[in-house]
Amino acid sequence: MKIKTIHTALAATAAALLIGLVGCGGGGDGGISGTGVMRLSLTDAPACGYDEVNITIEKVRVNQSSDANEGDGGWSEVVLNPAKRVDLLTLTNGILEELGETSLPAGKYTQMRLVLAANSGATPFANSVIPTGGVETPLATPSGQQSGLKLNVNMDVAAGELADFVIDFDACKSVVRRGNSGQYNLKPVISVIPRLSDAGLRVVGYVDTAIANGSTTVSVQQGGVPIKATVPDASGTFVLYPVPVGTYDLVIRAAERVTAVMTGVPVVATSITTVNSTSFAFLPQPSTSTTVTGTVTPTTATVRALQSLTGGPTVEVAWASVDADTGLFETVLPDAAPASTAYVANATTAYAFTPDAAIAGLYTLQASLDGSPPQSQSIDTGALPPSILFSFP
């Protein structure tokens, strides 16, 4: 799980909200006197293989202690009354679902808990998925119903100011199958991103409508870690928001296409970064693909595929789905060379993406488990090993 450092937002007047808000303070002020306001919203990265991913949120809690338990003091919370059921797949291309706000003691908050409603006889689909071509199925969320989904954060809330945060819930990486049982678990992959300004913090661009089919993903990454991802809409437009101020690699992944990488994409708070126009929409070159499979234990570990371009950068190309019962993982990777180009401000011609032939089909599979060093294995899609196994003690 990746957690971004959170900075205080500028003071602003909160919009009127349709949900009930309850604030309960406690704990020390972290060396800062007075109270501030925390405002929260929800967004989603793209999901794969699902028509809906629904969660029902009861409250969001924060504490200045990363070790605080559910019944300890020091919690402040935003309570949604009634609980709000959200289809995460509607929250792409910069769309946010406002959750609410609360006053709380000023200071540094290091723990957040997202508390979900339980599936019950009265609400069997409070949390659910609809697989593409399938029927609605309950989503098991054992850790999210009572104590909440725990996130380690680093949020500064200043006295007299509004701290504005977006909870980015990656539905694709968070929903895992359970063997052939027809059941699904929630294994949350969530980040918390500051929303400092509505004027900027956005990357906007266009892919060709030939690949605007719901399976293409666009992400901005740093050091091989996706910071924000989305699916282009039917017109090919993609909007990545909010993205913290910084410089990023833009990565485009489409089925049966090479990976396209644009380096040096800047994000600022005061204006939108537009990487191309509809006249020069991105369309990566065709490529054959190879399905890569293996096993990881325990099944709570995650697996992803990285590719290091000659001279840099390293980017995440794919996330492997790990079966919650068997630990089997699978992902599909392009055989042809990735292609890259550098960002040009106000470009008036089509970008020329240059293939990196030296690394065609070469990837690093990386397995991760909280509390353990990651494990890596180099692979070549043209000569896969007979078995790929990751095992954590």
Lowest mean pLDDT among 16-25, 137-146, 218-227, 373-382: 16-25
Domain tally, the chain = 2
Domain contains 23: no
Domain contains 204: no
Report the predicted TM-score, pTM, of the whole model to 2 decimal places.
Answer: 0.83
Please compute the mean of the pLDDT values over residues 188-196 and round it to a whole number: 82
Q: For 305-321, what is each residue's pLDDT tens digit?
A: 999 999 999 999 999 98
pLDDT score, position 1: 34
Tell which wins on pLDDT, 137 or 50. 137
Specify the DSSP class assigned to residue 280. Answer: G
Name the average pLDDT for the chain: 88
Domain contains 20: no
Specify the DSSP class assigned to residue 90. Answer: G
Are 256 and 283 spatial neighbours (Cβ–Cβ below 8 Å)?
no
Which stretches of 279-371 are assigned E, i.e. beta strand? 289-297, 302-308, 314-322, 328-334, 339-342, 354-355, 362-369
Q: Which amino acid type is present at position 156? A: D
Beta pairing, strands 354-355 & 289-297: unpaired
Judgement on whether residues 154 and 217 belong to the same structural domain of the protein = no
Structure tokens that stand for 171 in this block: 């539905």
Closest listed residue to residue 166, CA positions, set 87, 244, 68: 244
Structure tokens that stand for 356 in this block: 């990196």
* HEC sequence for 110-148: EEEEEEECCCCCCCCCCCEEEECCCCCEEEECCCCCCCC
Q: How many CB atoms lie within 10 A of CB 385?
A: 11
Judgement on whether residues 223 and 79 belong to the same structural domain of the protein = no
Q: Output the CA torsion sign for 69, 113, 59, 13.
A: positive
CA-CA distances (angstroms) from residue 114 to 30, 69, 161, 269?
22, 14, 23, 27
Domain contains 333: yes
Are 369 and 298 spatial neighbours (Cβ–Cβ below 8 Å)?
yes
Lowest mean pLDDT among 46-50, 158-162, 331-335: 46-50
Judgement on whether residues 223 and 127 belong to the same structural domain of the protein = no
Judgement on whether residues 239 and 361 belong to the same structural domain of the protein = yes
Judgement on whether residues 228 and 347 belong to the same structural domain of the protein = yes
* HEC sequence for 4-67: CCECCCCCCCCCCCCCCCCCCCCCCCCCCCCEEEEEEEEEEECCCCEEEEEEEEEEEEEECCCC
pLDDT score, position 81: 93
Judgement on whether residues 94 and 224 belong to the same structural domain of the protein = no
What percent of the chain is predicted at pLDDT more than 70? 89
Are 195 and 267 spatial neighbours (Cβ–Cβ below 8 Å)?
no
Cα 133-138-139 angle, rounded to 5 deg: 100
pLDDT score, position 318: 96
Q: Which amino acid type is present at position 24? A: C
Judgement on whether residues 185 and 271 belong to the same structural domain of the protein = no
Domain contains 184: yes
End position of a domain, from candidates 168, 194, 220: 194
Q: Output the CA torsion sign for 238, 240, 246, 249.
A: negative
Judgement on whether residues 226 and 176 belong to the same structural domain of the protein = no
User: Residue 386, preceding bond cis, omega within 30 degrees?
Assistant: no
**Start-to-end Cα distance in the chain:** 20
Structure tokens that stand for 83 in this block: 């609980």
Judgement on whether residues 372 and 226 belong to the same structural domain of the protein = yes
**Is residue 133 scored above 60 in pLDDT?**
yes
Q: For 55-65, what is each residue's pLDDT tens digit?
A: 999 999 999 99
**Is residue 13 scored above 60 in pLDDT?**
no
pLDDT score, position 145: 59
**Is residue 190 scored above 60 in pLDDT?**
yes
pLDDT score, position 146: 65
pLDDT score, position 204: 97
End position of a domain, from candidates 135, 166, 194: 194
pLDDT score, position 25: 39
Domain contains 205: no
**Is residue 197 scored above 80 in pLDDT?**
no
Judgement on whether residues 240 and 369 belong to the same structural domain of the protein = yes
What percent of the chain is predicted at pLDDT more than 90? 68
Judgement on whether residues 186 and 235 belong to the same structural domain of the protein = no
Structural domain including 79 reads 35-194
Domain contains 201: no
Domain contains 30: no
- State the DSSP H helix or E strand holding residue 374, giving kind and residue range, or none if neither: strand 372-380
Residue spans of alpha helices (H) in 114-232: 171-174
Judgement on whether residues 163 and 45 belong to the same structural domain of the protein = yes
End position of a domain, from candidates 142, 159, 194: 194
Please compute the mean of the pLDDT values over residues 364-386 and round it to a whole number: 96
Question: What is the C-alpha separation between 386 and 84, in angstroms, rounded?
Answer: 47
**Is residue 166 scored above 60 in pLDDT?**
yes
